[in-house]
Amino acid sequence: MIKFKNAIKQKIMITSNQLRKKYIDFFVKKNHAHIGSASLIPDNDPTVLFTTAGMHPLVPYLLGEKHPQGNRLVNVQKCVRTGDIDEVGDATHCTFFEMLGNWSLGDYFKKESIEYSYEFLTKELGINPKDIAITVFAGDSDAPKDTESANHWLRLGIPNERIFYLDKVHNWWGPAGQTGPCGPDTEIFIIRDVKCDNPDCSPACNCGKYVEIWNNVFMEYNKQEDGSYIPLKQKNVDTGMGLERTVAMLNGNKSVYEIDLFEKALKVLNNNAKIQDEKGFRIILDHLRTATFMLGDEKGITPSNVDQGYVLRRLIRRAIRYARVIELDVSYLTDIVKAYIEEYADFYKELKENEEKIIKEFEQEVERFSKTLEQGIKRFEKMIEHIPNKIISGQTAFRLYDTFGFPIEMTIELAKEEGFDVDVRGYEQCFEEHRAKSQAGSEQRFKGGLADNKEATARLHTATHLLLGALHKVFDDPNIQQRGSNITAERLRFDFNFDRALTEEELKKIEDIVNEAILKAIPVVCREMPIEDARAEGACGIFGDKYGDIVKVYSIEGYSKELCGGPHAANTKELGKFKIQKEQSSSSGVRRIRATLEE
């Protein structure tokens, strides 16, 4: 784990907003198109729940699809990574962060990418070249040693002793899921004023001397399901710089929580918490920021017991538990959420637009959980007095979940604090039994990837458009919108806003309309047009600025016209027979349909 021990040798005072602006302006000057941040919920990627990097929404374009904005792009992408959620509380880990990124889609490659990064860091930000260290890929049986990148760095003046060759664990990035674009990377580090006793100290050492600031990935491979790497049609560059970490480092802060983006929220804690506990403070600051962005996302997720909604629920509930630890009245948690909306409103318009919803959903979840938390904790404390073997049974953990709303992760955390273990397998068994009883389906979320079974997913993607078109027809309501979409090679899953269960008859009608469109063998037509024209033509879809000014509109004459990145089947006749397998609630006001295409 990286610790922000000592300050950077030469501090560079910069605000988050200044860094965002400098970065975008710099790459726009180098002919990159500025694209907006995509939603936190990935489209059609069954392998992950959240957008984890700037490249994530760009996967189809890295695989060779034409991007409507061109082949040089720059953006600031909101990202969520929950893998390190247990590390939150230290100086650097956050579940939400912003990633500054620039891309070449088959345009420039290593030389220009490295030159741009060097120019930006030394000229725009004014970092002393002597404070920069570099790592490059050492090579293995999958890909050769990256001497080309090293030579570019040498040419720019970084001496050999500050260029380190490291293995795949360190200098390879991707794919974002299990399959897809990936490649060797060169990483840029700032050298800090830290003395290390390790004679082999390098950026791989965790003494804190080297802090990564930027990662330039040279995406030239497509990882297959069998683990092999095949060369991509086009060579891409994908870079990523974490906004919060970079600002903290340049300013010489000891942790990311000291930067300007947290100031307003931190004030609420400082003014109202009775106990000053660093870890508690950081967990609340982090989790509520992530929750604010999830609730305010254009895809509008809400707390629930599955998928993204469950992660959101976990974050909010954990923050509530820590409010209890620092003796902060839970009503102040809303003030923190409001502080974030205010802080980010200029850059992320969706937060302001969805402010009412964010606060309403947030307060509902706080109310739901605060009621049972106290009782649940009491029960927990009493219970552990009577457990001799220091193992909390699966049944008990399940009861804490079912009766008091304790996410299993919270029970594990509480148990750990008391020196107990939890029988997680036993819990899962209870959970499954319960789930089987209530007939909820289980997910195959971690299998497959966007690039797999490309044709099957493209067909299901087209079926998803027909499904939304059919919903509009059956309910004569164009305001029904996509709230989430997840496609595997086997099935589609589509979430949309609707406030009641659909009847058998309605479901049958929807199926009939989709199958009618399939039988008619209608071509699926893709056109690129300015976003205003798409809107004027009545295309549906999420009109964020995700695709910038020029957008792709996919039409199926008489049935659907939708803003979308693709890919799709060429004609509806390729689809086979459409069958709805299940209709259920996804979260409040949102329904979920699962459907398949039969041969």
Q: Which is nearer to ligand SER, 53 or 415 (CB)?
A: 53
Helix (H), strand (E), coil (C) string for 488-528: CCCCEEEEEECCCCCCHHHHHHHHHHHHHHHHCCCECEEEE
Q: Which residue is nearest to ligand SER (CB)?
A: 240
For residue 595, give Cα distances in angstroms to 198, 300, 465, 474, 494: 57, 22, 12, 17, 8
CA pseudo-torsion sign 391, 392, 395, 398: negative
Instruction: Kindly state whether residue 308 participates in binding ligand SER, applying the rule CB under 6 A.
Output: no
User: Which single residue is written with the structure tokens 């200029």?
Assistant: 346
400 Rama sector, left if φ>0, alpha if ψ -120 to 50, beta otherwise: alpha
Looking at the Cβ atoms of 95 and 239, the one nearer to ligand SER is 239
- Residues between 170 and 199 with contacts to ligand SER, criterion CB under 6 A: 173
Of 39 and 587, which CB lies nearer to ligand SER in the complex structure?
39
Peptide bond preceding 523 in cis form (omega within 30 of 0): no
- According to DSSP, the β-strands at 33-34 and 72-80 are parallel
Cβ 99 to ligand SER, closest distance in Å? 6
Q: Which is nearer to ligand SER, 173 or 498 (CB)?
A: 173
DSSP string, 531-575: HHHHHHTT-BS--SSTT-SEEEEEEETTTEEEE------SBGGGS
- Nearer residue to ligand SER within complex by CB, 49 or 466: 49
Residue 80 binds to ligand SER (criterion: CB under 6 A): no
Select from 8, 19, 133, 217 the one that contacts ligand SER (CB under 6 A). Answer: 217
Nearest distance, CB of residue 217 and ligand SER, angstroms:
5
Site size for ligand SER, by CB under 6 A?
A: 10
The smaller minimum CB distance to ligand SER, of residues 60 and 101, is found at 101
Nearest to 564 by CA among 515, 598, 524: 524
Residue 18 makes CB contacts below 8 A (sequence gap 6+) with none
> What is the Cα–Cα distance from 477 to 341, expressed in whole angstroms?
31
Binding-site member from 40, 55, 59, 312 for ligand SER (CB under 6 A): 55
Cross-strand bridge partners of residue 596 = 579
Cβ closer to ligand SER: 217 or 295?
Answer: 217
Closest distance of CB 593 from ligand SER, Å? 33
Please, which contacts does 371-379 make with residues 24 or more away whose CB atoms are closer than 8 Å? 372/403, 372/404, 372/405, 373/317, 373/320, 373/321, 373/324, 373/404, 373/405, 375/404, 376/400, 376/403, 376/404, 376/405, 376/406, 377/324, 377/414, 379/404
- x/- letters, 490..519, toward ligand SER (CB under 6 A): ------------------------------
Is 23 one of the binding residues for ligand SER (CB under 6 A)? no
Pick between residue 97 and residue 369 the one whose CB is nearest to ligand SER: 97
CB of 239 to ligand SER, least distance (A): 5
Q: Which stretch binds ligand SER (CB under 6 A): 50-58, 371-379, 502-510, 580-588?
A: 50-58
Q: Are strands 550-556 and 560-563 parallel, antiparallel or unpaired?
A: antiparallel
Minimum gap (Å) between residue 275 Cβ and ligand SER = 36
Residue nearer to ligand SER on the CB measure, 76 or 534: 76
Residues 197-216 that bind ligand SER (CB under 6 A): 215
Cross-strand pairs, 486: 493
Query: Which residue stretch of 49-57, 192-200, 316-324, 533-541 sits at the interface with ligand SER (rule: CB under 6 A)?
Result: 49-57
Ranges within 227-256 binding ligand SER (CB under 6 A): 238-240
- Does residue 53 bind ligand SER (CB under 6 A)? yes
Please report how close the Cβ of residue 82 comes to ligand SER at its closest, in angstroms.
15
Give the separation between CA 320 and CA 303, rounded to whole angstroms: 14
Q: Closer to ligand SER by CB, 50 or 578: give it.
A: 50
For residue 35, the minimal CB distance to ligand SER (Å) is 14
Is the CB of 16 or the CB of 216 nearer to ligand SER? 216
Of residues 118 through 177, those in contact with ligand SER by CB under 6 A are: 173
**Phi and psi angles of residue 42, each rounded to the nearest 5 degrees, phi first:** -65, 150
Tell the smallest beta-carbon distance from residue 77 to ligand SER (Å). 9
For ligand SER, which residue of 42, 46, 54, 541 counts as binding (CB under 6 A)?
54
**Minimum CB distance to ligand SER smaller for 215 or for 587:** 215
Q: Which stretch binds ligand SER (CB under 6 A): 48-56, 147-155, 335-343, 405-413?
A: 48-56
Stretch that binds ligand SER, among 51-59, 302-310, 317-325, 589-597 (CB under 6 A): 51-59
β 229-242/210-223 pair status: antiparallel
Per-residue burial over 276-290, b = 16 or more CB atoms within 10 Å of its CB, e = otherwise:
ebeebbbbbbbbbbb
> Measured from the CB of residue 536, what is the shortest distance to ligand SER in angstroms?
35
> Which residue from 294, 190, 295, 285 is spatially nearest to 241, judged by alpha carbons?
190
By rule CB under 6 A, what string of x and - marks binding of each residue 332-371 to ligand SER? ----------------------------------------
Nearest CB to ligand SER, comparing residues 30 and 357: 30
CB of 460 to ligand SER, least distance (A): 27
Q: What angle do CA 485, 488, 494 make, to 5 degrees?
A: 25
Residue placing its CB nearer to ligand SER in the complex, 54 or 309: 54
- Whether the upstream peptide bond of residue 567 has omega within 30° of 0, thus cis, is yes
DSSP string, 288-357: HHHHHHHHTSTT-----SSHHHHHHHHHHHHHHHHHHHTT--THHHHHHHHHHHHHHTTT-HHHHHTHHH
Closest to 531 (Cα-Cα) out of 511, 545, 510, 513: 545
Counting contacts by CB under 6 A, is residue 101 touching ligand SER? yes
Query: Which residues would be at the binding site for ligand SER (CB under 6 A)?
Result: 53-55, 101, 173, 215, 217, 238-240
